[in-house]
Amino acid sequence: MTLLIQQGRIIDGTDDRVADVYVEGETITRIADRIDPASVPDAEIIDASGKYVFPGFVDPHVHIHLPFMGTNAIDDHASATKAALVGGTTSLIEMICPGPDDEPKAAFDEWMALAQAGACCDFSFHLSVVRFDELAQAQLRELVEAGDVASFKVFLAYKGALDLPDEHLLSLMEMARELGVIITAHCENADAIDTMQKQLIAEGKTGPQWHEPSRPRSVEAGGVRHLCAFAQQTGAHVYIVHTSCEEAVEQANAARAMGVNVFVEAVAPHLVLDKSYAQRGDFEGAKYVMSPPLRDASEPPQLWQALAAGDMVSIGTDHAPFNFSGQKDMGRDAFTLIPNGIPGVQERVDLVHTFGVCAGRIDLATMVNACSVQPAKIFGMYPRKGAIAEGSDADLVVYDPTFTGTFSVADGLSQVDYCGYEGMERRGRAEVVMLRGHVVARSGAYVGGEGGGRSIPRSLTH
């Protein structure tokens, strides 16, 4: 298969120019100001004039197969990855989240088998480390040395389920530095949250509006400070996921100034929503219960400024789809029983374009860097992914900035029963999405086949 994408405005985080892109098989083989169609007579011609051409977007933070709080996220790998592709995301990194009694190798094999069977886009994994006994340590080393894992995930939250004691966290970070593995981290404080939640429930404060007060900004900022102190001691590279507030970003900035290798991620919900959504009546607020929680309305502008300044370097989704009916409502009597998370793998790019670029908060280069280039670089995929360059995978998005509409669950390919952005303004849409040279989405519709996604080879940090 050959494709010729003509006269689009190519934006890949560094270059910004109008040019043609020629694709042979799965690879970009030529980029030039003009490529004569007569010289490639068998190519499908895609007219991109008046549109942007982006590298396929990379979502560095996704949950698909997620056992959590007595239930399981509602998507499977087919539905989640089709949603991703229609939204312009061609590669994603899923969090493997085993239970504290599960072996790391068995968990990796389980998640890999599910992805290989159903994923329609390319994929990789962060492996959550929730135990660190001798068997777990040996298996973690084996998985890294076999090239199966290049990043770990740790939780400074969810006491008794996913959190690690400090002695194990420190030893894990020493291992990560030795092996060249980056640590991704949910930064809060499991003990503090547990105490505050028990107190609120005892006081009869059981609704979803009490989720945010149970894990305030100071707890998140303290978690970032704590992790970065260990990173400074061990030399490990750390990546702070779903950072929700300026105070946490400032802690990472201070650590970076002291030489710590720390990267900070934003996620779409914290950029466009605030805690008033979790305060909606009739239990509607449960749709917006996530951790860290949505914050005051003053926080999203601060996060956009941090992205523009480069203090935050990536934008993911933390896609975690739980139905409002039958799953979120498990917590009607206590917010501590509401499965945490919000869907968004399909909406991310359009949210960033609408509320970031079109609103003048960031420019197009920052959008592409945060949603594609930097995730690919940080997690060892670049320039195979996240680049428009000769030799890179032909993961490309022809994007129409003139499209207007609203976000709606009716347009979603995720299996979840609500859209967290229902009715909000939408400006821009992926018109044509290519995965390794194959057109898989057109004008908001999935047109690819079943499966076909591949595991992405990744390099380590040394």
pLDDT by position in tens, the chain (length 462): 899 999 999 999 888 999 999 999 999 999 999 999 999 999 999 999 999 999 999 999 999 999 987 889 999 999 999 999 999 999 999 999 999 999 999 999 999 999 999 999 999 999 999 999 999 999 999 999 999 999 999 999 888 787 899 999 999 999 999 999 999 999 999 999 999 999 999 999 999 999 999 999 999 999 999 999 999 999 999 999 999 999 999 999 999 999 999 999 999 999 999 999 999 999 999 999 999 999 999 999 999 999 999 999 999 999 999 999 999 999 999 999 999 999 999 999 999 999 999 999 999 999 999 999 999 999 999 999 999 999 999 999 999 999 999 999 999 999 999 999 999 999 999 999 999 999 999 999 999 999 999 999 999 987
- 55-378 topology per CATH: TIM Barrel (3.20.20)
Q: How far is CA 302 from CA 62, 218, 245, 298, 360, in A?
A: 24, 16, 8, 7, 14
Q: Sort strands 122-128 and 151-155 into parallel, antiparallel or unpaired.
A: parallel
Note whether 288 and 343 are within 8 A (CB).
no
pLDDT of residue 97: 94
Rounded CA separation 101/131 (Å): 8
Domain 2-54+390-406+422-446 sits in which CATH superfamily? Answer: Urease, subunit C, domain 1 (2.30.40.10)
pLDDT of residue 254: 98
Paired tokens of 110: 């389980």
Among 132, 208, 118, 134, CA closest to 171: 132
402: number of Cβ within 10 Å: 9
Rounded CA separation 351/405 (Å): 12
pLDDT of residue 163: 81
What DSSP designation does 40 have? S
pLDDT of residue 208: 97
Place of tokens 């939780």: 155
Query: Which residues in the chain are classed under CATH 3.20.20.140?
Result: 55-378
Rounded CA separation 255/438 (Å): 43
What DSSP designation does 303 have? H
Query: Which residues in the chain are classed under CATH 2.30.40.10?
Result: 2-54+390-406+422-446
**Whole-prediction pTM value?**
0.97
Residues 6+ apart with CB under 8 A from 7: 18, 19, 20, 47, 48, 49
Type of residue found at 405 = G
Paired tokens of 255: 């650590």
Classified as helix, coil or strand, 263 is strand
Rounded CA separation 233/441 (Å): 46
Among 298, 306, 107, CA closest to 217: 298
Rounded CA separation 347/455 (Å): 23
What DSSP designation does 56 have? P
